[in-house]
Structure 1
Amino acid sequence: MDVQKCKTKKGVNINGPLLISPNVYEDERGYFMESWNMRAFNQKIIRDIIFVQDNHSKSKKNVLRGLHYQMPPYDQGKLVRCIKGEIFDVFVDLRINSETFLLWAGEYLNDKNKSQLWIPSGFAHGFLTITDTAEVLYKTTNYWSKDHEHTIKWDDNSINIEWPLNGNLPIQSDKDKNAENLNEISIKKLFKNDI
């Protein structure tokens, strides 16, 4: 397993999120890989993480899900991978005491690179489907809670994410279409500590 820190487009390291590339063993039959090993994962991130929920989504091309996050006590860390097709996976630092507060980074996850993205608590998360369809699996460190979930607009100018939409408008849920801009969000809905 190879682990790398995630960087913004300008090359700034964001503390916390990690891009994880598994060891893949291929031969004439196909391939084998460990998609999840708690001991190896916890050793790499130097924390003891327990996942409590697995989520699986299937999306059409140009579907944009997010930017979602949950506040304590239901804040979530996520381990995201794309098992079919390709997505552009994005996270935004919402930790107000962080040196990278409101900076974003994105990684292409697909069924070829088999990479996974670890996004700890304190970040908003979303993704755009690049291929005709994509299936995404992600583990979470806490349960979904409607009362603690928040959504930020995908095109908030104060974040300025460069989504690879190629001039197309994204396909979104009503919830995501009606998301708030950051300037509408109370400071109470942001993270005070570097979790």
Structure 2
Amino acid sequence: MNNNQQPAFILVLYYSTKGSTKALAEAIGLGIEQAGLEARLRTVPAVSNNCESTEAKIPSHGDLYCSKQDLTDCAGLALGSPTRFGNMAAAMKYFLDGTVNEWLNGDLQGKPAGVFTSTGSMHGGQESTLISMMLPLLHHGMLLCGLPYSEEALHSTHSGGTPYGPSHVALEQSTNLSDEEHKLAVAFGQRLAHTAEKLHSA
């Protein structure tokens, strides 16, 4: 890719069991595409308690599984997971633990990245989960993007949304994003895309 071309795509990589994190991923993807870049939504396989269980190479529904080529070729990354006791889900951690070669090669160095999450309650560990997902991105040499308080919805939200990244509170297992959650997720996608473009042109 030469400097006259736009960045290829922003990878929106998520794990979702009930649909809430996927809803955030879709809103972030909308923001990326509103900013003029391609949003490539990808997911990761579940981790089975049965060590002999394997997943099909192509999921039966939803987005495709993320490939290592998706990681290598992306111009930026939005990483999302539901909370699991204040941490990212095991499936996402398992996937990230397998990116040692990409780390050794520096495939993600200098690319913008950010994180997003969902919880089933207001105080379900959103901020600690977001921070837990930032750590491997820092090890990969990525440049972290959050949400600045210039986003008005951060001042008014009574649901999800943090300066660390977009979030959703799935009260009563609802996958419907509140107006503030949706606005912040879209704004985050736009910010990630604009940052990728600026870094690429520099």
TM-score with structure 2 setting the length: 0.31
TM-score with structure 1 setting the length: 0.32
